[in-house]
């Protein structure tokens, strides 16, 4: 079983529950893009989070140590002056990834994990793995090094209903992988189903990240008086019973579940077209969204561990020591924010939140 360190809670409230102070959180699943897009979105993450696991699905992808080092340098150069932020890099797993690539990445000290995308599963996944068994030599080394494998857990078989792709992935791909490599550390990223929650609960060395959109919304939000492209993400939003299972997992105090926004910036024009891109942009207000979720579930006392403790514990990294403060005050999520030559529409644009970071 995943070992949980004794919690030393710093979470505090004032007498009238108008202020919430907690250890600065980390984002364990984040898309930062590159170039001008990176410069536009990174300040939002830096405002809230001390570290983030940065996704490698650029074009071309971050496939080896040299790619990761160069991308890390570009991220560090984009951090606003006077701010502190540590990008935690990942390699994009392909059919050609070698054990030597993993060994070099692990020795670097700044590459924390390897990311698995099934070929064609999501944004820039055309370089992904065509058959997960092709990567067994890499998984053998990762298991020995205790380097986490981060899974986009969906099958891409067109015969499988899009709402069933996570469940089928668990049955057809993840269970056999688990049998072949029982000690491999795995993060099931952005889980969306009760099936994934159950799998995480019953298997050792398995953890999961949960996004704000999958905690806040079910699939009805995609079709509320029309098609709502800014709720379209992959894995897609699921039924209400699955949202409830995720909510129970996130607020349970179980260290196998921790924060990962999967914030994925796509400009308004790329979302609002005949073939809109998959991804929800939540970096603007992520910790406020999670606070809303946890308060609505009467579980604010569980937020700090979910956001600030369980992720670093799983990755065997030190917890942060700096604190952030949220103030209880009503504010409106903006309809859009600037982004390169267009705009980004934040998750829940136009709605009210009751917590705001000071």
Query: Per-residue pLDDT for 1 more than 70?
Result: no
User: How many CB atoms neighbour CB 191 within 10 A?
Assistant: 31
Virtual CA dihedral for 24, 29, 35, 40, nearest 10 degrees? -50
**Domain architecture of the chain: domains with CATH:** 12-357 (3.20.20.140)
pLDDT one-digit tens code per residue, 23-72: 999 999 999 999 999 999 999 999 999 999 999 999 999 999 999 999 99
Q: Given this model, what pLDDT does residue 303 score?
A: 98
- pLDDT category at 94 given cuts 50, 70, 90 is very high
Query: Per-residue pLDDT for 352 more than 50?
Result: yes
Given the residues 26, 101, 262, 313, select the one marked as catalytic: 262
Q: Given this model, what pLDDT does residue 69 score?
A: 98
Q: Given this model, what pLDDT does residue 217 score?
A: 98
Tokens 């070929």 belong to residue: 119
- pLDDT category at 9 given cuts 50, 70, 90 is low
In the chain, beta strands by DSSP E: 12-13, 19-23, 27-30, 51-54, 86-92, 111-116, 149-151, 186-188, 206-210, 257-259, 323-332, 337-339, 342-344, 352-357
| Catalytic (active site) residue 262 | yes
Distances (CA, A) of 24 to 46, 78, 347: 11, 20, 22
pLDDT one-digit tens code per residue, 16-27: 678 999 999 999
Mean pLDDT, residues 183-192: 98
- pLDDT category at 10 given cuts 50, 70, 90 is low
Q: Given this model, what pLDDT does residue 120 score?
A: 74
Query: Per-residue pLDDT for 3 more than 90?
Result: no
* Secondary structure of residue 293 in the 3-state scheme: helix
Q: Given this model, what pLDDT does residue 128 score?
A: 87
Report which of residues 11 and 354 the model is more confident about: 354
pLDDT one-digit tens code per residue, 108-167: 999 999 999 998 767 766 788 999 999 999 999 999 999 999 999 999 999 999 999 999
- 303 contacts 257 by C-beta, under 8 angstroms: no
């Amino acid at each position: 079983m995943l070992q949980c360190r004794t919690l030393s809670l710093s979470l505090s409230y004032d007498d009238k529950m108008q202020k919430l102070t907690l250890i600065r959180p980390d984002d364990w699943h984040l898309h930062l893009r590159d170039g001008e897009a990176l410069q536009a979105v990174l300040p939002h993450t830096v405002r809230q989070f001390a570290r983030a696991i940065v996704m490698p699905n650029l074009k071309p992808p971050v496939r080896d140590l040299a790619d990761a080092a160069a991308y890390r340098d570009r991220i560090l150069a984009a951090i606003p002056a006077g701010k502190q932020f540590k990008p935690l890099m990942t390699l994009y797993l392909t059919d050609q990834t070698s054990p030597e690539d993993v060994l070099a990445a692990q020795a670097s000290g700044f590459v924390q994990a390897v990311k698995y995308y099934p070929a064609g599963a999501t944004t820039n996944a055309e370089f992904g793995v065509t058959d997960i068994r092709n990567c067994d030599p890499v998984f053998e080394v990762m298991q020995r090094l205790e380097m986490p494998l981060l899974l986009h857990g969906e099958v891409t078989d067109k015969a499988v209903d899009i709402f069933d792709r996570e469940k089928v992935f668990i049955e057809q791909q993840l269970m056999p992988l688990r049998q072949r490599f029982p000690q491999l550390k795995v993060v099931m990223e952005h889980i969306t189903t009760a099936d994934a929650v159950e799998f995480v609960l019953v298997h050792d060395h398995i953890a999961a990240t949960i996004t704000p959109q999958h905690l806040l919304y079910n699939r009805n939000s995609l079709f509320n008086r029309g098609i709502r492209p800014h709720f379209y993400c992959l894995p897609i939003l699921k039924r209400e019973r699955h949202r409830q299972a995720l909510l129970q997992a996130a607020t349970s105090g179980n260290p196998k579940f921790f924060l990962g926004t999967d914030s994925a910036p796509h400009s308004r024009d790329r979302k609002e077209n005949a073939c809109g891109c998959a991804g929800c942009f939540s970096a603007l207000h992520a910790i406020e969204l999670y606070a809303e979720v946890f308060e609505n579930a009467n579980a604010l006392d569980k937020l700090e561990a979910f956001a600030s403790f369980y992720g670093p514990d799983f990755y065997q990294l030190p917890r942060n020591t700096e604190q952030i403060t949220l103030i209880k005050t009503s504010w409106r999520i903006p309809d859009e924010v600037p982004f390169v030559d267009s705009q980004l529409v934040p998750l829940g644009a136009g709605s009210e939140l009751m917590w705001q970071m000071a």
